[in-house]
Structure 1
């Protein structure tokens, strides 16, 4: 259910941007990120290498849209997500593919009450942001 909700929200956001006639090169990263919930989690997608890839993808888009800090902002937010996941019991393989060791500095249980509340709150905010964009651009 959670994977479907995240994917559906990102696909809806991409659709709104397409309807709004936003350049397709801005929509492509959203479409790419919409499949992330279905990939094996916390290996490649939660590595420093992936943060670099996000920067490489988003930086030219930022320049294209005259938003020079987009690459830095996107990769910083992605890194923040990885750092937050380090506070779970499972941790992340931050140096993947060079090391598969999972690094954990926390105790939060994924699927636990606290983590579910935080995640649901963030998904709700993303949905509200998408609705805002619908009314702003359509």
Structure 2
């Protein structure tokens, strides 16, 4: 499913869960739900959540700067060593070909996304923030390097997210952080990607078999239409639950 649909479903799922389990919900809880409904897609470098942390136009600009700077440096180093313009030009051309084939825009985004979370974890460590915050940041730093729809889309990631959020909740006294964070994170799989043709590997890493309960192809007209219908159904369910109270 598309990122905006995941976000909407995560918020609606949290509202429905708060009604069913009689858990108070606030604007902050809705913000948590929106964020955690998108976190599983950190393993996709071009996702909405990735773009939130590291804008695509900025990463493309940095990519161009790195490529151009590296090429210029190679040329001047080469001409400094052999003092032959034509030979240096050939060396630079080969270097450009090799570097651009290896250093892709997506790879650069993965590197910088990971560095953002590692830097955050480092800052938290030096200001002596409890270890669970640091572990959570380091866990997110690994997501960009995972194969899309692997560990971040599994039951084990949901369990780990709940455990870390529960510890953070106990340390900070943020009410129901683990409840809304876990509900919205799980909604990404159970109310979203599991209905796509690709499915999700719920039992990864024990098994990488992807479970699918649908046939949706993300981005297609039919899939986009069904996403809207599904959101409307969730809204109706919430209205019905409120009326029944």
- Deviation of residue 30 (structure 1)? 1.0
Q: TM (normalized to structure 1)?
A: 0.59
Say whether 1:108 aligns with 2:218. Answer: yes
Q: Provide the rounded CA distance (Å) in 1 between the counterparts of 2:209 and 2:164.
A: 25
Q: Provide the rounded CA distance (Å) in 2 between the counterparts of 1:77 and 1:36.
A: 17
- Deviation of residue 20 (structure 1)? 5.4
Q: Deviations over 1:11-60 (max 9, x none)?
A: 34434544655333312211112112212332333122321221122212
Say whether 1:46 aligns with 2:149. Answer: no
After superposition, the Cα gap between the structure-2 partners of 1:76 and 1:6, relative to the gap in structure 1 and judged at 3 Å, is farther
Q: What is the aligned length?
A: 110
Q: Deviations over 1:52-81 (max 9, x none)?
A: 221122212211111241222322232133
Q: What is aligned with 1:8? A: 115
Counterpart mapping for 1:84-99 below 5 A: 84-86=192-194, 88-96=196-204, 97=206
Name the Cα RMSD after superposition.
3.1
Q: What is aligned with 1:122? A: none
Runs of 4+ in 1 over 6 A off after TM superposition: none
After superposition, the Cα gap between the structure-2 partners of 1:60 and 1:95, relative to the gap in structure 1 and judged at 3 Å, is same
SS in 2 for 1:35: helix
Counterpart mapping for 1:1-138 below 5 A: 1=106, 2-18=109-125, 21-82=128-189, 83-86=191-194, 88-96=196-204, 97=206, 100-103=209-212, 105=214, 106-108=216-218
- Which structure would you say has the larger RCO, counting Cα contacts within 8 Å and 6 or more residues apart? 2
Q: Which has the larger radius of gyration?
A: 2
Question: Gaps spanning 5+ residues in structure 1: where?
Answer: 115-138
Question: Gaps spanning 5+ residues in structure 2: where?
Answer: 1-105, 225-245
SS in 2 for 1:67: coil
Q: Provide the rounded CA distance (Å) in 1 between the counterparts of 2:111 and 2:197.
A: 24
